[in-house]
Amino acid sequence: MVRTRSTKGCWTCKLRKKKCDEVQPNCDRCTKSGIECLGYGEKPSWIVRSSNPKGKRGSISAPGVAIKKAGSGSETWSKDKDAELLLYYLEKVFPLQWQYYKGSNYWILPLLSRSKAMFHAVLSIAAVHMASAKTGIDEYLQMHHELTLKELRNTISIEKDPETNVKSLAAVVMLVSYELFRGGYENWEVHLNAGVALMSLITDEGRECGPLYNAEIARIPENQTRLFLTACIIWMDVSSCGIMGKACGMDSYLHRIVRSKSFVPMEELMGCKTEVFIQLNEVAKLHDWKRRLQAKNSLSVTQLIERGSHIQKTLGLALRETAPNDPLIDSTTKLFALAILVYLSGVISGFSPANPDIMEAVDEAISLMRRIPQNYYRGNVFPICVFGSMCDRKYYGFFLDLFIGGAMDVSFGNTAVTLKIIQRTWELRDANSDKRLISWFDAVEDLQLYALLV
Give the chain as a 3 state SS string: CCCCCCCCCCHHHHHHCCCCCCCCCCCHHHHHHCCCCCCCCCCCCCEEECCCCCCCCEEECCCCCEEEECCCEEEECCHHHHHHHHHHHHHHHHHHHCCCCCCCCCCHHHHHHHCHHHHHHHHHHHHHHHHHCCCCCHHHHHHHHHHHHHHHHHHCCCCCCHHHHHHHHHHHHHHHHHHHHCCCCCCHHHHHHHHHHHHHHHHCCCCCCCCCCCHHHHCCHHHHHHHHHHHHHHHHHHHHHHHHCCCCCCHHHHHHHHHHCCCCCHHHHHCCCHHHHCHHHHHHHHHHHHHHHHHCCCCCHHHHHHHHHHHHHHHHHHHHCCCCCCHHHHHHHHHHHHHHHHHHHHHHHCCCCCCHHHHHHHHHHHHHHCCCCHHHHHHHHHHHHHHHHHCCHHHHHHHHHHHHCCCCCCCCCCHHHHHHHHHHHHHHHHCCCCCCCCCHHHHHHHHCCCCCCC
Cβ contacts of residue 317 below 8 Å, gap of 6+?
none
What mean pLDDT comes out for the span 51-70? 39
| Averaged pLDDT score across all residues of the chain | 83
**Is pLDDT at 74 greater than 60 in this prediction?**
no
Question: What would the pLDDT profile of 332-350 be if each residue is shown by its tens digit?
Answer: 999 999 999 999 999 999 9
Separation of alpha carbons 417 and 439, rounded Å: 15
Q: State pLDDT tens for residues 258-311.
A: 998 889 999 999 999 999 999 999 999 999 999 999 999 999 999 999 999 999
pLDDT higher than 80, residue 10: yes
450 has pLDDT over 60: yes
The whole-angstrom separation of Cα 223 and Cα 217 is: 7
Residue 25 has pLDDT above 90, yes or no: no
Considering 50-54, 94-98, 306-310, the range whose residues carry the highest mean pLDDT is 306-310
Model pLDDT, residue 410: 78
pLDDT (0 to 100) of residue 193: 94
Distance CA 232, CA 269 (A): 8
Find the mean pLDDT for residues 360-380: 93
Q: Which percentage of the chain shows pLDDT scores above 90?
A: 47
Q: What pLDDT score was predicted for residue 63?
A: 39
Mean pLDDT, rounded, for 73-82: 56
Q: For residues 8, 221, 168 and 243, what is the CA-based torsion angle, rounded to 10 degrees?
A: -110
Structure confidence at residue 352 (pLDDT): 95
Per-residue pLDDT tens for 218-241? 566 667 888 899 999 999 999 999
From residue 23, alpha-carbon distances to 4, 12, 31, 218 in Å are 19, 13, 10, 25
- What percentage of the chain reaches a pLDDT higher than 70? 81
Q: CA 229 to CA 221: how far, in whole Å?
A: 12
* pLDDT (mean) for 25-29: 86
Confidence band for 160, pLDDT divided at 50, 70 and 90: low
46 pLDDT above the threshold of 60: no
pLDDT higher than threshold 60 for residue 125: yes
**What pLDDT score was predicted for residue 45?**
56
6 sits in the region (left: phi over 0; alpha: psi -120 to 50; else beta) called beta
Q: Does 29 have pLDDT greater than 90? A: no
- What pLDDT band is residue 67 in, cutting at 50, 70 and 90? very low
Q: Is the pLDDT of residue 33 over 90?
A: no
Looking at the DSSP bridge assignments, the partners of residue 421 are: none
